[in-house]
Structure 1
Amino acid sequence: MNRRTKLAAVAVAVLLTVGAGGSAVAVPDLAGPGKDGRPVVAREAAALTGTAKVFRPAGDDITFSFDAHLAAKDNMDPEAATGTFRFSHYKDGGGGYAVAKVDCLLTGGKVAMVTGVVTETDLDVFRGKRVGVTIHDLGKHDRLGYSWVGRDTEAKLPKCVSSAPFEKVKAGTGDFRVLPWQPVFPTE
């Protein structure tokens, strides 16, 4: 077998292996057959992803990261959302972080609101507490807000509630992406 034939055989074997591995792992959310008879993959109902740092002139290091999704099959149930989000705040050697398990995701246009219960943290004030964050995806000028502002920060937050996006994201750090929710309501 000449060199070109061997290289072609190896390339085909690699492509078949990669293709088989990818198809074994990826299980699409099917929306039914398309016009050509092949299955149509439904887009997820809503999503919020990305990371950014909050702008603070005093030098605080505040970061928010999101990986929240609502599956197509759960389109009319925002409380079926899955994923996590993380936030941290450090300044002058102090501060901490928290990771929350998503329990609600609502999006509309370029705005997303996510709530979750803190499952991991080094700050006692957040341990086991539900928190909410709102994102406004404005390209290079993203904004965000969070539920733990105001005087009554000990109040129990219900699912699907947060604040207006009042914080500015530090220039060059915002890459939030909001996939708008498209609820389907019955017609009479």
Structure 2
Amino acid sequence: MKRRTMTAALCAALLLTAVTTGAAVASGPHEERPSREAAALTGTAELYRSAGDDITFSFDAHLAAVDNDDPLKATGTFEFSHYLNGEGARAKAEVDCLLTGGDVAVVSGVITDSDLPGAEGRRVGVTVHDLGRHDRLGYSWAATGSPAEGAELPRCVSSAPFEKVRKGTGDFEVVPWQPRL
């Protein structure tokens, strides 16, 4: 009899704990929960080149939930560099557009800082395909030439993600955009 009483008391205590914990979680204030971003692209990776080029891309681009209907209100920065045998350049751009769909993101921005002559003030675009450990990347200047040359690029324009990320370096994360259609 004592054993049945103990088991019943234990079951009652576990049930009471589960109910009160569930009620506390369910009744928490909704305004304290952070709202999901409308879209985002974050992370850093090095590209693979058989010649040994040192190429790095880093992203911190976001579209706030309140701006869900306007990808041109995206904010943040992205940086890239390309060096081979001690020669090359780096650049930092201010995001001016971010579009994402599924695990693909296209971001564009205006270069604000660079050691490539003529690059500052020019718009560039980059495409990322977030494939876990096998991310891919493409960039507008693959088709248009150096970021310091050519015609003005429209916002959110880039190339297909044709480059492979060096094994073990990719940590891109894409938050897919969910526009109200």
Q: Which runs of 4+ in 1 moved over 3 A?
A: 34-38
> Which stretch of structure 1 is more off in the superposition, 151-160 or 168-177?
151-160
Between the aligned partners of 1:125 and 1:55, the Cα distance in structure 2 is 27
Pairwise CA distance, 1:152 = 5.7
Q: Percent identity?
A: 66
Pairwise CA distance, 1:149 = 1.6
TM-score (norm 2): 0.80
- Residue 158 (structure 2) aligned to one of 159, 162, 179: 162
Aligned equivalent of 2:138: 145
Gaps of 5+ in 2: 1-25
Q: Does 1:46 align with 2:42?
A: no
Residue pair 2:143, 2:159 contacting (<8 A) in 1 also: no
- Residue 173 (structure 1) aligned to one of 166, 169, 174: 169
Q: Which protein shows a greater Rg?
A: 2
* Counterpart AA for 2:163: E
Aligned residue pair count: 152
The alpha-carbon distance between structure 1 residues 117 and 44, as it changes in their structure 2 partners (threshold 3 A), is same
- Residue 87 (structure 1) aligned to one of 80, 86, 95: 80
The alpha-carbon distance between structure 1 residues 152 and 90, as it changes in their structure 2 partners (threshold 3 A), is closer
Between the aligned partners of 1:81 and 1:38, the Cα distance in structure 2 is 25
Pairwise CA distance, 1:41 = 2.8
The structure with the greater share of residues assigned to helix is 2
- Residue 128 (structure 2) aligned to one of 127, 135, 139: 135
Q: Alignment RMSD, CA only?
A: 1.5
